[in-house]
Amino acid sequence: MTLLTPRASLAFRLALRELRGGLGGFYIFLACIALGTGAIAAVNSVSQSITDTIATQGQEILAGDVRFELNNREATEAEMGFLRGFGKVSASTGLRSMARKPDGSDQALVEVKAVDGAYPLFGTFEAEPNYPLHALLSGQSGTYGAVAAPLLLERLGLSIGDEILLGNVILNITGTIKTEPDAVSEGFGFAPRLLVSRDGLKASGLIQTGSLVEHVYKIRMDDPAERSTIRDRATKDFPSAGWSIRTSDRAAPSLTENIERFSQFLTLVGLTALIVGGVGVANAVRAFLDSKRTTIATFKCLGAPAATVVLIYLFQIAIIALGGMVIGLVIGALAPIVASQFLAQFLPVSTDLTFYPGALSLAVLFGIMTTLAFAIMPLGHSREVPATALFREQGFEARGLPSWPYILLAAVFLLALAGLAIATAHDRFIAIVFVGAIAFSFVILRLVAAGIAWLARRSPRVNSPALRLAIGNIHRPGALTPSVVLSLGLGLALLVTLTLIDGNMRQQLTGRMAAGAPNFFFVDIQGSELEKFRSVIKASSPDGHLVEVPMLRGRILAFNGEDVTKRKVPPGGQWVLRGDRGITYAQTLPENASLTEGSWWPKDYRGEPLVSFSAEEAKELGLKIGDTVTVNVLGRNITAKIANLRKVEWETLSINFVMVFSPNTFRGAPHAWLATLTDPAATTTQEAAILKSVTNTYPTITSVRVKDAIDIVNTLVAQLATAIRAAASVALIASVLVLAGALAAGNRARTHDAVVLKTLGATRRMLIRAFCYEYLILGAATAVFALFAGGVAAWFITARIMRIPSHFLPDVAGLTLITALVLTVGIGLIGTWRILGQKAAPVLREL
């Protein structure tokens, strides 16, 4: 104890002695700190585990040291010579197509990946049966082999040994995929994987002029040190190649970014739980100090300075908080191991027991800041109250604010907590909004509590004694109203917000979006096939509306001559610059768009290349009419001037493009066509017939049933929503704990009230009714606030940020009201039942 002053040393020893009597009154404090720190530690540990695995196993995840990608064209001999100069090269080709049963009875969309004999350069590909990949793909008896995802076989009702058609080639299914080393780096696919040889893909006839194909070249470098310079050398030697380059130190950048964003969201949810728990800390400290009036009075009467008394209980609070944080750290440390059991098949998660000091330290910092921010004010009361008052039956409820140093300290720690949340956030703007929303919510909740008390105080006199007693309890000094509203309001509001966002997203996907969406997308239609394709569609769907447009792929390289990689772009516009974009040309304004600025070019325009840009995306990217856009299409860099901006309704799922060029821009360029078919009256059987007709007539055309795509997205949204609601439930659990603590803290005063009322003739039934009325009123009022606050927050996120229609959902309102009433009445009655069983004599003697 040499590090402490004599006074602090004495206070520490006395604190330890008091703690020998147990943690009575501090169990909820302990649980709140453990829950909040555990949530933050767990989320950040799992996130760090995934990102570290991606960083340390980058070669296996990328299946190479460097990855070059070209769209719609293969590398030239000169480009291949450049790549081979760095080491061994493995080439693969990816595209989407339709896999069909040989009898034409069924088909399914697949993600085709054609690999060479060098694949994979790093990592291990595993199949069932466990034969070498080249043996599985070589096939026999004049056919080619294929290894399929188990889901594909399940969808088509096939087994190993059966045959399927891909384009014009027959494939023999020789195995199923168990482990694909570079699956994570390839990104999310909407369809099951089908792995074939490059010769098999060539025989299928799927690669045609303008087909949407990705050609990937991976290098196992002879000198890994050259990895840092290969991008610059490639750009210098082949400035117009238009390839996308990724190195193994950033094997899955999109996944890493998404993990970081989701981690930030879950961290903020955990911080919400911790802040809600902070209210529980304040309640627990206040109740604990209230129960220690005699002890505090004794200390003061024996000459202990007020500062020593504060130190004694500060040490106790710190020790208990440390215990809660240790529990939270254990939860956080074990979280990656537990998560790996569920995530290993989807994400690269380490199965080794690894500790992440940064994630655990961050959780401890949040725990310390929260404890001090919410415990300082109640501690200040113990210093200010004289010993004579402590000996009387006077608690801490009605003493107002402590002296200004304690208020200042609490404010400093609250600001430090907010600063820590913002400084450690992936997106600081979101963190600032979150901190502001929490602060605003606390102010509003205080005002709501004051408003409820004000209304109760001015309510007309009622005849029912029980109801009159309940209303009096709501506005009396030391009432539970502020504690209950604060405890439950924030957690319920968060749950309402997330549930409404989830519900509106589902409504959008299954309602307006699905109703207005086309039935089919048809991709990779060759110009020579277009007329006959129209005839097939007309025969299969006489009342259908067919829309077709030319389709190319291009990568944006520069705006006004400035490299886009050096441009700071807001998150809302980054997707436009990520990879290749679909582009088209048109003589007239697309039917589902409207101009917001500028004018459309004449039908016979022959001047410099012009482009029409989506207005919303142009705003995000800082573009205006007259600016230039440079895109790489088929290995050529083309610069066009922005002639107009147009409003695009992406949610209709019709054919939409960020960029529509003037026709002269791509005159003579080879390309395919993209088409949609809309037939609202078509039944599921009719859609199956359309799909079968197109697929059997044109096996190289990829047909996508929009309803199937929406179902896949719906499933993903449902899984994401489940994870988010599970995380949000942590905040609700914290709210329940705090609510229980708040009600427990008021039990002492309730005991006195109950004993006095029973002495004056009140029955147990009447008192139970009075308490039920009180809890019902408080629960209903809190539910109304949660619905209002959560509804406003959900509206802002859906309507202003996600830009989808926002609707209030009555089932959410009902569930919120029921939850609030069950929690307040249930927890309240559990504590009340024990109060009503107290003997009158011991309590009356203390009055």
Residue range 801-813, pLDDT digits in tens:
766 777 777 887 7
Among 357, 390, 425, residue at a domain's last position: 425
Least confident of 8-17, 395-404, 516-525: 395-404
Distances (CA, A) of 56 to 43, 50, 51, 60, 345: 20, 10, 9, 9, 18
pLDDT in tens, 709-728: 777 777 766 766 676 667 66
Both structure tokens of 204: 């299928």
- Same domain for 265 and 366, yes or no, is yes
Instruction: Tell me if 274 is assigned to some domain.
Output: yes
Which segment of 182-196, 346-360, 626-640 scores lowest on mean pLDDT? 346-360
Cα(799)–Cα(807) distance, rounded to whole angstroms? 10
What's the pLDDT score for residue 438?
Answer: 82
User: In this structure, are 492 and 549 located in the same domain?
Assistant: no
For residue 210, CA distances in Å to 217, 310, 318 come to 20, 77, 68
C-alpha angle with apex 79: 73 to 85, nearest 5 degrees? 145
Average pLDDT over residues 254-271: 69
Among 256, 315, 295, residue whose Cα is nearest residue 8: 315
**Tokens coding 301:** 């009467």
Yes or no: say if 222 and 85 are a contact pair by the CB < 8 Å rule. Answer: no
Task: Give the count of beta carbons closer than 10 Å to the beta carbon of residue 411.
Answer: 13
Read off the pLDDT band of 174 (50, 70, 90): very high
Q: Is residue 637 part of a domain?
A: yes
Both structure tokens of 488: 């439950």
482 has a pLDDT exceeding 50: yes
196 and 289 share one domain: no
Q: Is the pLDDT of residue 385 over 90?
A: no
pLDDT 10s digits, 307-327: 788 888 888 888 988 988 999
Q: Identify the three-state secondary structure at position 264.
A: helix
Question: 526-549 pLDDT, tens per residue?
Answer: 888 889 999 999 998 888 888 899
Q: Tell me how many domains the chain contains.
A: 4
Contacts of 226 (CB under 8 A, 6+ apart): 86
pLDDT at residue 57, rounded to an integer: 76
Same domain, 769 and 815: yes
Tell whether 272 and 220 lie within a shared domain: no
Which tokens sit at 20? 């020998």
Tokens in use for 562?
């400035």
pLDDT confidence tier of residue 394, bands split at 50, 70 and 90: very low
Say what the pLDDT of residue 348 is: 65
Using CA atoms, how far apart are residues 575 and 568, in angstroms rounded to an integer? 13
Amino acid sitting at position 837: G
Own/partner long-range contacts of 832-836 (Cβ < 8 Å, ≥24 apart): 832/750, 832/767, 832/768, 832/771, 834/747, 835/747, 835/750, 835/751, 835/754, 836/754, 836/764, 836/767, 836/768
**Residue 528: inside a domain, yes or no?**
no
CA 477 to chain centre: 43
Q: What percent of the chain has pLDDT over 70?
A: 87
HEC string of 311-346 equals HHHHHHHHHHHHHHHHHHHHHHHHHHHHHHHHHCCC
pLDDT at 245: 85
How far, in whole angstroms, is CA 369 from its chain's centroid?
25
Q: Which amino acid is at 826?
A: G
Dihedral angle sign, alpha carbons of residues 55, 61, 67, 73? negative
The pLDDT tens digits for 323-379 are: 889 998 998 888 888 877 776 666 666 667 778 888 889 889 988 988 888 888 888
Name the band, by pLDDT with cuts 50, 70 and 90, for residue 559: very high
* Extended beta strands in 25-168, E state: 66-71, 87-100, 107-115, 126-128, 144-148, 163-166
The CA distance from 261 to 43, in Å, is 11
Note the helical H segments in 57-169: 58-62, 77-84, 133-138, 150-156
- Give Cβ neighbours of residue 344 (< 8 Å, ≥ 6 apart): 351
In the chain, pLDDT over 90 holds for what percent of residues?
15
CA neighbours closer than 13 Å in the CB half-sphere of residue 440: 10
Domain boundary (406, 425, 444) is at: 425
- What sign for the dihedral angle of Cα 43, 45, 48, 54? negative
Distances in whole angstroms, Cα of residue 504 to Cα of each of 394, 559, 784, 790: 51, 36, 20, 13
Contact 204, 167 (CB under 8 A): yes
Could you tell me the sign of the dihedral formed by the alpha carbons of 225, 231, 233, 237, in that order?
positive
Average pLDDT, the chain: 82
84-88 own/partner pairs: CB under 8 Å, 24+ apart: 86/219, 86/221, 86/222, 86/223, 86/226, 86/230, 87/219, 87/220, 87/221, 87/222, 87/223, 88/118, 88/121, 88/219, 88/220
Integer Cα distance of 743 and 736 in angstroms: 11
pLDDT mean over 412-417: 90
The answer to whether residue 211 sits within a structural domain is yes
- Residue-range definition of the domain harbouring residue 624: 545-678
The whole-number average pLDDT for the span 809-818 is 78
Judgement on whether residues 229 and 292 belong to the same structural domain of the protein: no
Q: How far is CA 289 from CA 312, 599, 765, in A?
A: 11, 73, 32
Whether residues 180 and 239 share a domain: the answer is: yes
| 799 pLDDT more than 90 | no
Higher pLDDT, 747 or 153: 153
Mean pLDDT of 36-60: 80
Q: Confidence band (pLDDT; 50, 70, 90) for 389?
A: low
Is position 684 within any domain?
A: no
**589 — phi, psi (to 5°)?**
-60, 130
Alpha carbons within 13 A on the beta-carbon side of 49: 27
Instruction: For residue 360, give Cα distances in angstroms to 35, 263, 348, 730.
Output: 14, 14, 21, 18
User: Is 78 exposed, middle or buried (CB count within 10 Å of its CB: 0-12, 13-18, 19+)?
Assistant: exposed
pLDDT at 789: 85
Question: Torsion angle, CA of 63/64/70/72, rounded to 10 degrees?
Answer: -30
- What is the number of other CB atoms lying within 10 angstroms of the CB of residue 271? 27
DSSP at 661: E
Contacts of 801 (CB under 8 A, 6+ apart): none
Q: pLDDT by residue (tens digit) across 292-306?
A: 777 777 777 777 777
Token match 């037939």: residue? 679
Q: What are phi and psi of 252, to 5 degrees?
A: -140, 70
Nearest residue to 290 via CA among 378, 208, 181, 201:
378
Please check whether residues 421 and 433 belong to one and the same domain: no
| 577 and 479 within one domain | no
What value does the mean pLDDT take over residues 373-394? Answer: 68
For every residue of 457-501, DSSP letters joined together read HTSPP-S-HHHHHHHHHHHSTT-SHHHHHHHHHHHHHHHHHHHHH
Looking at the predicted structure, is the pLDDT value of residue 398 above 50? no
Q: Residue 644 above 90 pLDDT?
A: yes
Burial (CB < 10 A; 0-12, 13-18, 19+), residue 797, is middle
**How many Cα atoms within 13 Å fall on the side-chain side of residue 57?**
18
| Terminal CA-CA length for the chain | 42
Whole-number Å distance between alpha carbons of 182 and 185: 5
Q: What is the pLDDT of residue 264?
A: 67
In a domain, 535, yes or no: no
CA–centroid distance for 48 within its chain: 16
Mean pLDDT on 142-147: 85
Residue 129: asked if its preceding bond is cis (omega within 30°), the reply is: yes
Q: Please give the pLDDT value at position 160.
A: 92
Provide the pLDDT confidence category of residue 10 given band limits of 50, 70 and 90: confident
Q: Is 634 helix (H, G, I), strand (E, B) or coil?
A: coil
Same domain, 41 and 110: no
Cα–Cα distances (Å) from 223 to 65, 216, 250, 618, 722, in that order, read: 10, 21, 18, 42, 46
* pLDDT tens per residue across span 422-464: 888 777 777 788 788 888 888 888 888 899 999 999 988 888 8
Output helix, strand, coil percentages for the chain, rounded to the nearest 5.
60, 15, 25
Angstrom distance (rounded) from CA 772 to CA 766: 10
Would 537 be classed as within a structural domain?
no
The pair of structure tokens assigned to 278 is: 């902070």
Would you give the distance in Å from CA 448 to the centre of its chain? 30
Residue 256, pLDDT > 80, answer no
Q: Are residues 353 and 439 in the same domain?
A: no
Does some domain include residue 255?
no
Question: Do 309 and 298 fall within a single domain?
Answer: yes
DSSP class of residue 90 equals: E
Q: What is d(CA 756, CA 846) in angstroms, rounded to the nearest whole number?
A: 12
The token duo for 181 is 């080393």
Single residue among 401, 425, 449 that ends a domain in this structure: 425
